[in-house]
Amino acid sequence: MRKFNRKNFETREISIQKNFVENSDGSCLICFGKTMVICTAIIENDVPSWLKGKGTGWVTAEYGMLPGSTSSRNRRESKLGKQTGRTTEIQRLIGRSLRSIIDLNCLGEKSIIVDCDVIQADGGTRTASITGGFVALSLAIKKYMSPNKSIQNPIKDYVAAISCGIVKNEVLVDLDYSEDSIADVDANFVITQKSGFSEVQATGEENTFQKDELVDMMEKVELVSEKIFAIQKGALE
């Protein structure tokens, strides 16, 4: 039995509070159950050196976990002198996911930096960061476009992410930490509303998995994704 009597294909309670941070161009607090992430987006009038003079923009992301976000203190990476491989992997995933639904040519030579800071972790921090990062990004673009009516909206689609895995031979959607830590197969799915999947990460933690099991996970993710898109839309209204 899952916590709170969740069915295998049910997500945890999801909430998004927009404009959570006043000083950013766009922000939100997103919660997947006990997992909580602050997402902010800031637009800068600059692009990386390899894009200068090309008339196109860039979207990138940074990710971090506060020391008190986990049951035992999570050491600040600034104290360690470098980012861990996990952090680098996750922030690249967030950046790729957000760029998948943005027409970078519409931005001009501007960069949007999306910061995702985990304040409480109970599984699914990267998927929550992508889902909330989209909301923060959208709010920042809306704010930028408001006085510039002639600018074309660069957002082509909605994007969200959700975890899915096989635990004790059952496919479960939106794993919390207690489920993720014992999963035989652990997967993260990045999905757009109109264009299908943007990225799939699936790992046999303790076991291999079959094609039909992967398809089963993808189908369950497709079903719950509409709920997540509706929550994003509600936050953006």
pLDDT of residue 158: 98
- The rounded distance, in Å, linking the Cα atoms of 172 and 192 is 20
What pLDDT sits at residue 76?
Answer: 87
CA distance 163 to 176: 9
pLDDT at position 34, please?
97
- Of 47, 147, 130, 139, give the one whose Cα is nearest residue 93: 130
In terms of DSSP bridges, do strands 14-18 and 26-32 run parallel, antiparallel, or are they unpaired?
antiparallel
Helical residues (DSSP H) of 8-150, grouped into ranges: 77-80, 85-99, 125-145
Query: Which residue ranges make up each domain of the chain?
Result: 7-157+227-236
**DSSP letter assigned to residue 61:** E
Count of CB atoms situated within 10 Å of the CB of 85? 8
Residues 6+ apart with CB under 8 A from 172: 2, 8, 164, 165, 166, 179, 183
List the chain pLDDT tens, one digit each, 237 residues: 788 889 999 999 999 999 999 999 999 999 999 999 999 999 999 999 999 999 999 999 999 999 999 988 988 887 788 888 999 999 999 999 999 999 999 999 999 999 999 999 999 999 999 999 999 999 999 998 887 767 789 999 999 999 999 999 999 999 999 999 999 999 999 999 999 999 999 999 878 899 999 999 999 999 999 999 999 999 999
Identify the pLDDT of residue 141: 96
Pairing of strands 111-120, 58-65: parallel
CATH architecture group of domain 7-157+227-236:
2-Layer Sandwich (3.30)
DSSP class of 44: E
The whole-number pLDDT of residue 201 equals: 96
H or E stretch covering 224:
helix 211-236
